[in-house]
Amino acid sequence: MLIAELETKKTNSDVLRGRDILCFSHDWTGDPLSKTHLMRVLSRENRILWINAIANRMPTTSSKDISRIFKKLKSFTEPVKEVEPNIHVLNPLAIPTYGNDAVRKFNEKFLVSQVKKAMRKLKFQSPINMVFNPAAGLLAGKLGESELIYYCVDEYTAFTGVAAGLKEIEEDLFSKSDLVIVSAEKLFESKHHFNKNTFVIRHGTDWKHFRKALSDETKIPDEIKNLPRPIIGFHGLLADWVDFELLKKTAEHFKNGSLVLIGKIAVDAEKKIKILDGIPNIHFPGRKPYAELPNYCKAFDVALNPFEINELTLAANPLKVREYLAAGLQVVSTDIPEVRILDNCLIGENHADFIEKIEFVLQNTKPKEEISDGIEHESWEAKIDELRGIMRTCRHGDAVTR
């Protein structure tokens, strides 16, 4: 009995430790997303081969997409590079469509070859395959992996311009995975029928980083420090799921204040965002380095999560909201289920109510330290511990509550 208990403890302590891990995700050079933070935690005790984005959508003829294609072609010739301790990055190449059988088979064979070559170079053995990108379902189970985990953080097939055939690839990935993790209750409701081993792990936050917004040593950037108040802020991708009409109404209502929108404008939002042209109190500082985001958050009087309500956003768990909270900011959001459950987040049920909620926050401030303290337990380390617990229990065949 004692020997069995010791073996169990040994097995438990080895979960996601001392392993080789494949991570199919977005481009490493992009903004740090949930995958980035999770892999950084895991890299402390494991080796990671991060495989840059395999396209989920068809490219357009926009200058941004054409530039991205050329960058992909150039980066394909670059060797696997260690970008941080224990994190190695591979730049794969594939044709961004999956509906045609011949192209799909070519992609599968070509991608498997690229990844296996990198694995041989790094001497990876029996890796855990953690897939965050559904297009990588083409390769799943073909890389000698010991376990397959699909970590689904979005309703990918609801994105604009989604590549043909992706829905079928993702559904197959759900079914063949040993474990499926989803980041929102809505995703669990729509996906768990594919795989009985489906569990919810909500996003964490880089709490210590965003807590810097409360430090006296953190300086507000010159470009926004003298803007008229209140400063109503947003950071993140300005994509087509953002409600730009709502932002227009907000800026017009708070015409004596400032609306600051930090982030890159996505290709699919270039037309929609034109509705904000010429509004004098809307400011676009552009995409900022992750290291500087607490400095900008320090200037905000209230933070926004202004998503349109649709199939994609209802299943979203906006990472920015927890970052705002860690920076000590009250948040006003449209009615996104995963935001509704958080403290210090007010929900606008329509455009008028959204603006009323901003007014309420500005008139009813809370101690920033109290707001930030309330999210401290939602660390990325805690999320990895959740994952380890689920994996451990599934391996022993015990019942797991989600």
Q: Report yes or no on 124 lying in a domain.
A: yes
Q: Report yes or no on 320 lying in a domain.
A: yes
What angle is formed at CA 376 by the lines to CA 375 and CA 382, rounded to 5 degrees?
Answer: 105
Residue 329 in contact with residue 209, Cβ under 8 Å?
no
Same domain, residue pair 19 and 160: yes
Same domain, residue pair 317 and 232: yes
Same domain, residue pair 357 and 389: no
Same domain, residue pair 10 and 84: yes
Q: What is the pLDDT of residues 339-390, one digit of tens each?
A: 999 999 999 999 999 999 999 999 999 999 999 999 999 999 999 999 999 9
pLDDT score recorded for residue 13: 64
Same domain, residue pair 329 and 264: yes
Under the banding of pLDDT at 50, 70 and 90, the label for residue 59 is: very low
Same domain, residue pair 263 and 386: no
What angle is formed at CA 274 by the lines to CA 272 and CA 280, rounded to 5 degrees?
Answer: 135
- Count of domains forming the chain: 2
Structure tokens that stand for 198 in this block: 């489906």
Same domain, residue pair 54 and 129: yes
On the question of pLDDT at 68 being above 60, the answer is no
Same domain, residue pair 74 and 93: yes
Q: What is the pLDDT of residues 103-159, one digit of tens each?
A: 778 888 989 999 999 999 999 999 999 999 999 999 999 999 999 999 999 999 999
Q: Report yes or no on 197 lying in a domain.
A: yes
* Structural domain containing residue 83: 2-204+379-395
Which range is least confidently modeled, 67-71, 294-298, 390-394? 67-71
Q: Report yes or no on 195 lying in a domain.
A: yes
Under the banding of pLDDT at 50, 70 and 90, the label for residue 286 is: very high
CA-atom Rg of the chain in angstroms: 22
pLDDT score recorded for residue 56: 53
Same domain, residue pair 157 and 279: no
Q: What is the pLDDT of residues 168-201, one digit of tens each?
A: 999 999 999 999 999 999 999 999 999 999 999 9
CATH code of 145's domain: 3.40.50.2000
Same domain, residue pair 226 and 366: yes
Same domain, residue pair 319 and 293: yes
Q: Report yes or no on 402 lying in a domain.
A: no
Which range is least confidently modeled, 29-33, 154-158, 162-166? 162-166
On the question of pLDDT at 71 being above 70, the answer is no
Q: Report yes or no on 96 lying in a domain.
A: yes
